[in-house]
Amino acid sequence: MPNSDSSLLANEFRALRELMAADPAMELEILRALFEQLGRATAEPTDVTYSEVDAGGVNALWCLPVDRDTSKVLVYTHGGGAANTASSHRKFAAHLAKASGAAALVVDFRRAPEHPFPAQIEDATTVYDWLLEQNPTAAVAVVGDSAGGNVAIGSVLRLRELGRTLPQAVAVFSPFLDMENTGATLDDPEGKDVFIDRGLVELMSALLLGADSTPTDPIANPLHADLTGFPPTYVAVGGAEALLDDSRRFVDRARATGVEVEFEIAPEEQHIYMFAAGRDATADATVKAIGDWLRATLDRPHD
């Protein structure tokens, strides 16, 4: 039975940071295996099936609620930076799919550091193009969390550069956007964020960018992007997050250019708090709110 205690996810984060601190030279594959365990924080949703698919040469995972509207699809880019996979995020994507009455297609994009920026953007846009080739009339939202929120926004910016039809909606959760790491909430003397700190984001931004990209590239760092014409967007973030200022600045930039934005800050909540869907009342409330918003936004006429 869901409650209002999000300690399960916070405890997963604390345990992960303790293991990382105990072995600073931990092998990447071991770290990735540990990050995969974050999926335990999400309850298994009911009435959903899963199916792997080759989406234009990119591995992806369908999350298919039995009562979905077959005309609506969420293209989901998972968080974790250099770590997680579609498998670790399938349950959360399925909760969101159920809430929005859509299917979710989780992109298993190439990961840094083996494949730094823009590999993730390329894979996300490839999957988007493949999806519209399969169903040209689909109502599509692009969705992502943490570093996957960066990929979600960056992929829409790249689609705009390429002259493609843009998705009807974008939803991001606790997005990691600032590759320069200048956010006002990043250095929190109270240490309210149990997982994210400056050292971690500096490491992740270096891994994601690699040696050949600049931290001010507007596709890698949407805080430098012109957001004119960006689709309607929902941003949800925890009030205790070190990355809170990334969301605030993105929302301010988007609204300044006339983008329709819904902005939710959940007081005292941790990074990707909504990942505790099915186990936590606050997470479930956010999933429902975003699901309702996606239903309404994807129902609008689209050029």
The string of pLDDT tens digits covering residues 2-54 is 444 467 888 999 999 999 999 999 999 999 999 999 999 999 999 999 999 99
Mean pLDDT computed over 164-171: 97
Q: Does the pLDDT at position 297 exceed 70?
A: yes
Strand order in the sheet with 139-145: 48-55, 58-65, 103-107, 72-77, 139-145, 169-173, 233-238, 261-266
Tell me, what's the pLDDT at 188?
84
Look over the chain and give the mean of its residue pLDDT values, rounded to a whole number.
95
Tell me, what's the pLDDT at 228?
96
DSSP code at position 280: B
Determine the longest span between alpha carbons in the chain, in angstroms.
53
Coil, strand or helix at 192: coil
Residue 203 CA to residue 122 CA, distance in Å, equals: 22
- Which one from 6, 100, 146, 205 is the annotated catalytic residue? 146
- 205 has catalytic annotation: no
Residue 138 CA to residue 286 CA, distance in Å, equals: 25
- 12 has catalytic annotation: no
Long-range pairs for 159-163: beta carbons < 8 A, 24 or more residues apart: 159/125, 159/128, 160/229, 160/230, 161/219, 162/125
- Domains (ranges, CATH) in the chain? 7-298 (3.40.50.1820)
- Which one from 205, 241, 247, 269 is the annotated catalytic residue? 241
Q: Which of 113 and 1 is assigned the larger pLDDT?
A: 113
Q: Does the pLDDT at position 153 exceed 80?
A: yes
Q: Mind listing the pLDDT tens digit for each residue in 169-221?
A: 999 999 999 999 999 999 987 889 999 999 999 999 999 999 999 999 999 99
Q: Mind listing the pLDDT tens digit for each residue in 254-280?
A: 999 999 999 999 999 999 999 999 999
122-136, 137-151, 184-198, 224-238: which has the minimum mean pLDDT?
Answer: 184-198
- 4 has catalytic annotation: no
Q: What is the CA radius of gyration of the chain?
A: 18
Tell me, what's the pLDDT at 8?
81
Mean pLDDT computed over 82-110: 97
